Structure formats: structure tokens, C-alpha cells
Amino acid sequence: MSGEKTAVIVLNWNGAPDTLACLASLAKVESPAFTTLLVDNGSSDGTVSLVRRAFPQVEILELPRNLGFAGGNNAGFTSLCGRGFDSVVFLNNDTVVDPGFLQPLLDELQKPWVGIAAPKILYMDDPGRIWYAGGVLESATGLIEHTGIRQPDGPRFDEPEPVWYATGCCLAMRRRDFEALSGFDERFRMYGEDVDLSIKARKRGLVIMYQPASRIWHRVSASSGGEMNLGRQLRKSGAAMTLFAKHGMFSGLVLYPLLLPFRTLLSLLRFQRFRRKSSKKREEA
């Protein structure tokens, strides 16, 4: 890996506090060397000027308007082309990273059969609880689900293994593979573009590898129910239907809407049980 160049792309839209915390955590990653590129999606909250003052070493790409997740990340990647980067990491701005998060991901990319490497992702407000430890995609039934979500971290989540999809919250790829897959599909304005990218990689015979030696924390509340927000669920459902139609998953296209009410109810029941357990633990403490 000596001499290889890596870029970490952080996408921002009016998220100054999160972005500054994310960049501060990246500044603590001493090895291997990498370039950080902040892609600003037409923010109006002064993020760019704050970053320039606090992190002068960070490169900044200012976009004139919000291009969404896929468009913003694609623009950032395109701006790096021709500069000799071998690998790229796409990282959400509402994350903080472990100082050793990068090397395990790059080690996975040294294996020619690995197309995407993804870290273990934990809740920032509950650092010992899993948000992502792999992803399951059942095309026959339309199930798309993070492995381990809201479960306590433990040994069963500590083994590297191939998974069905990587999450766009953080994923690493070789530059040439991301180019060959034509990047993120910009028809997905929000949600689904990461699963789509994973499917495209799998169709080329590449493996999506979960690597728990790499750890990051994601600012999404484990206990507030934000993930159950109706608007978010509707956007995710729309993205899922687009995904199934694009990849000819006709069984999923039919069964997803039919099973959605039952899955939503099951998710709500699991979430309420989780909240009761969390509340009981706080009372006992």
C-alpha cells in the first residue's frame, strides 16, 4: 500500500456543527495519510468559512446548489479525478470516526475480490449499540435491513464477513471500481443509492465486505424514534420501489408494499420494547 493515495469525501448541507465534529475526528487519524475533501451542497449556514478557519488543510468543493447525496458525492469524486487517487471513502458529515478507522477499510480493498468495504457503525448517543453491522437484502420479499440495528455491540458483530450491501454513511472503494460502476445513481435523491451501488458491484462479481475493526459513530438517536419518522419512511419506501424496478426484482416490487404495514408494525413493536428496556436500565442505574 506504500505510495497509494486515498481521499475521504465528506458531504455537507447546512450542517456546520456536525461537519466540524466530523472533521475534528478525521484530524486525529494519523495513519495512513489521506486527503480530506469537504463537498458543500450549496449551504447557507456559513459552514465553508468555519471549516476554512478551523481546518485549513481540508480541501473544499463549493457547489452552487444542493445536488443531493448522490449528486454531491459524485461531484466530489469527479473533482478528484486525474490526481492519482487509488481509493476513496465516502463519509457522512454526521459521524465521528475512530482514529484507526481507515486502515482496516483500505486493507480490505487490497483484496481484488472486495469491491466495497464498510465499517461497524454505532449510535453516537449510545456508543455501545449497533446501527450497522452489515446489510440484508431479500429481493424475493423486498426486505432491506441493517444487521444488528439497536442491539448491544458484542462478539457476534466482531467478525469480518461479506454482506449484501454497504451503507452510504461510510463506505470505501477503489477509484477504478467506483468509476466502472458510474458512481451513485442520481435518480435516487435520498436513500437507496448505496444499496444500488452495492448491487451494481455484486453484479460485477465483487464482494461487499463488513469490517468491524473499522469503527465510526453516527448521530442518529437510538431512543428518539427518528428512524420511524413517517416522512423518512415514505422516502425510503419510494427509493426501495425504484431500486426493485431498476434491477428487475419483480417479486420484491409486488411484495414490498404488501408486507410494508406488517414490517412497520413489527419495527414499532421492537422499538417500543427497546425503549422500555432502555428506560428500565436508566432507572436501575
- Encode pLDDT of 148-170 as tens digits: 999 999 999 999 999 999 999 99
What is the percentage of the chain residues whose pLDDT exceeds 70? 87
pTM for this structure? 0.89
pLDDT tier for residue 224 given thresholds of 50, 70 and 90: very low
pLDDT greater than 90 at residue 36: yes
pLDDT of 226: 52
Using CA atoms, how far residue 160 sits from 24, 107, 120, 131, 213, in Å, is 27, 12, 10, 16, 8
Question: Between 16-26 and 47-54, two packed helices, what is the crossing angle to 10 degrees?
Answer: 30
- Encode pLDDT of 54-86 as tens digits: 999 999 999 999 999 999 999 999 999 999 999
Residues in the chain: 285
pLDDT greater than 80 at residue 225: no
Instruction: Please state the domain extents for the chain.
Output: 6-284
- What is the architecture of the domain spanning 6-284? Alpha-Beta Complex (3.90)
pLDDT of 261: 73
pLDDT of 217: 98
